[in-house]
């Protein structure tokens, strides 16, 4: 929990500084790259969370990984996390930054849970539907969960629409049980 609160504080400070420098869009792009890179590479996750490895080694490795791909503000955030021995929350800071950036820009985040990854066509259809419903621009966060069997679950803010096969099976099961 304290790591989450710390991540929010770092993300707020980074966003505030980026807005001041009129560079918040570039920093958001950098943060998305950081999150994607860490999530796609399990070895990097283990490396960043290792208590045995020295912070300077982690810092130099991250500089190599993101060399020429991230700007000065994002690089400064990494340096600050290294200096404060909080590099293990880098991914959380980057996620929180993007969430705060989306709120600042009035962009909704629609979470789509599906049994298989969304295709580009489905992605566009969901975005259009979310814009129609909310009247706001949106980004899609697709979570793959084979347990829902088929269909999807859509969450926009506090609203959830469950069109999954597993939900329909649960409804049928409850109907059968109540009729017996």
Calculate the dihedral angle through the C-alpha atoms of 101, 105, 110, 111, rounding to the nearest 10 degrees. 0
> What tens digit of pLDDT does each residue of 102-149 get?
889 888 888 899 989 989 998 888 888 888 888 888 888 889 999 999
Topology of domain 2-103, per CATH? Peroxidase; domain 1 (1.10.520)
Q: How far is CA 84 from CA 10, 26, 166, in A?
A: 11, 24, 45
Q: Is residue 27 very low, low, confident or very high in pLDDT (cuts 50, 70, 90)?
A: very high
pLDDT of residue 14: 95
**Which one has a higher pLDDT value, 94 or 160?**
94
How many alpha carbons lie under 13 Å from residue 9 in its C-beta half-sphere?
10
> What tens digit of pLDDT does each residue of 55-84 get?
889 999 998 999 889 999 999 999 999 999
Within a 10 A sphere around the Cβ of 106, how many other Cβ atoms?
10
Question: What is the residue extent of each domain of the chain?
Answer: 2-103, 106-179
pLDDT of residue 13: 95
pLDDT of residue 3: 61
Average pLDDT for the chain: 89
The whole model's pTM is what?
Answer: 0.71
């Amino acid at each position: 929990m304290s790591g989450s609160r710390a991540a929010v504080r770092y993300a707020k400070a980074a966003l505030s500084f980026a807005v001041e420098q009129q560079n918040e869009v570039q920093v958001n792009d950098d943060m998305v790259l950081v999150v994607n890179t860490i999530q796609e590479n399990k070895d990097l996750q283990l490396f960043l969370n290792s208590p045995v490895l020295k912070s300077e080694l982690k810092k130099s490795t991250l500089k190599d990984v993101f060399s020429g791909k991230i700007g000065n503000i994002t690089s400064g955030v990494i340096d600050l996390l290294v200096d404060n021995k909080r590099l293990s929350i880098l991914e959380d800071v980057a996620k929180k930054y993007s969430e705060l950036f989306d709120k600042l820009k009035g962009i909704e985040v629609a979470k789509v849970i599906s049994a298989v990854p969304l295709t580009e066509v489905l992605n566009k259809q969901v975005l259009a539907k979310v814009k129609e419903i909310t009247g706001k621009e949106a980004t899609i966060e697709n979570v793959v969960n084979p347990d829902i069997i088929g269909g999807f679950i859509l969450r926009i803010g506090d609203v959830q629409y469950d069109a999954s096969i597993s939900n329909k099976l649960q409804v049928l099961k409850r109907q059968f049980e109540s009729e017996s």
